[in-house]
Amino acid sequence: MKLHPVPVLKESPSQTAGPYVHIGMTPNFCGITGVIDADPGISMLTADAEGERIIITGRVIDGAGAPVNDAVLELWQADSKGSFVAPMAPNSKSVPAFTGWGRQPTQPDGTYRFETIKPGRVDGPDGKPMAPHVSLWIVARGINIGLQTRLYFADEAEANAADFVLNKIMDPRRRETLIARREEGPVPRYVLDIHLQGERETVFFDI
């Protein structure tokens, strides 16, 4: 029998990112220019990235229906082949063609927006591929510990119906809170509003 170790330290407790989170996470966005060239995660891909270009967007809304205009969202996803190990861009010694990771602040109307590629499928804990999805992490003033959720794609209905995580949500109506609708355009858009609280509250995970 193999014994698992007992943790010897406690995790550092979380605290809110506060209203001025942008100073540390998106300094150029809030006017602190000249320290670093570009805010981390603002751009996720180079022209060499393989896969379908998409825009993931929506609004973050609080329990009173007001836009959350001071949040920062991070996105983590597989590449178009379902891999989290991104190859370097052929024309660059140091930049991955696709990082899989993005970070964006919300705008005054609560909108977030990522320019990325549609992820491939990744095997789930049951050994079957999960439906295409991106992981999201949301921090802001008033959020004491980062909220973790996922965004799925409405045009993947068959895969969504068999997804390991979506099927853990007992109430099928709540599954809908994670599924982004597709809007056609020069670059297809997937739109999903994130409700922190209330009637249409998004499903958040303890992962």
Partner 1 sequence: MSGIILPGADGMLFQRDRDWHPPADTPGYKSSTFRAPRHSLLALGPTRSEMTGPTFGHEKLGELDNDLIRNFSQDGNEAIGQRMIVYGQVLDENARPVPDTLVEYWQANAGGRYRHKKEGYLAALDPNFGGFGRSITDENGFYHFRTVKPGAYPWPNGGNDWRPAHIHFSVFGHAFAQRLITQMYFEGDPMIWQCPIVATIPDKAAIDQLIARLDRHNTTPMDALAYRFDIVLRGRRSTMFENKLEGN
Query: In the complex, what is the shortest distance from the CB of residue 110 to partner 1, in angstroms, rounded to a whole number?
Result: 12
47 binds partner 1 (CB under 8 A): no
Long-range contacts of residues 21-27, Cβ cutoff 8 Å, at least 24 apart: 21/70, 21/72, 21/139, 21/140, 21/141, 22/70, 22/72, 22/105, 25/72, 25/103, 25/105, 26/72, 26/103, 26/104, 26/105
| End-to-end CA gap in the chain | 26
133 binds partner 1 (CB under 8 A): yes
108 binds partner 1 (CB under 8 A): no
CA distances from 151 to 30, 33, 90, 165, 195 (A): 27, 32, 30, 11, 13
- Return the SS3 of 21: helix
187 binds partner 1 (CB under 8 A): no
Q: Which is nearer to partner 1, 183 or 197 (CB)?
A: 197
Query: In the complex, what is the shortest distance from the CB of residue 73 to partner 1, in angstroms, rounded to a whole number?
Result: 12
- Return the SS3 of 167: helix
DSSP state, residue 86 = P
Q: Determine which residue in the list 57, 104, 116, 135 makes contact with partner 1, applying CB under 8 A.
A: 135
Q: Which of residues 143-172 bind partner 1 (CB under 8 A)?
A: 143-148, 150, 164-165, 168-169
Query: In the complex, what is the shortest distance from the CB of residue 184 to partner 1, in angstroms, rounded to a whole number?
Result: 27
Nearest-5° Cα angle at 179, 131 to 176: 115
Q: Determine which residue in the list 101, 156, 159, 176 makes contact with partner 1, applying CB under 8 A.
A: 101
34 binds partner 1 (CB under 8 A): yes
- Return the SS3 of 183: strand
Q: Determine which residue in the list 67, 111, 113, 137 makes contact with partner 1, applying CB under 8 A.
A: 137
Query: In the complex, what is the shortest distance from the CB of residue 155 to partner 1, in angstroms, rounded to a whole number?
Result: 20
40 binds partner 1 (CB under 8 A): yes
Q: Which two tokens stand for residue 107?
A: 């705008």
80 binds partner 1 (CB under 8 A): no
Q: Determine which residue in the list 42, 113, 155, 204 makes contact with partner 1, applying CB under 8 A.
A: 204
H or E element that contains 57:
strand 53-61
Q: Determine which residue in the list 45, 140, 151, 192 makes contact with partner 1, applying CB under 8 A.
A: 140
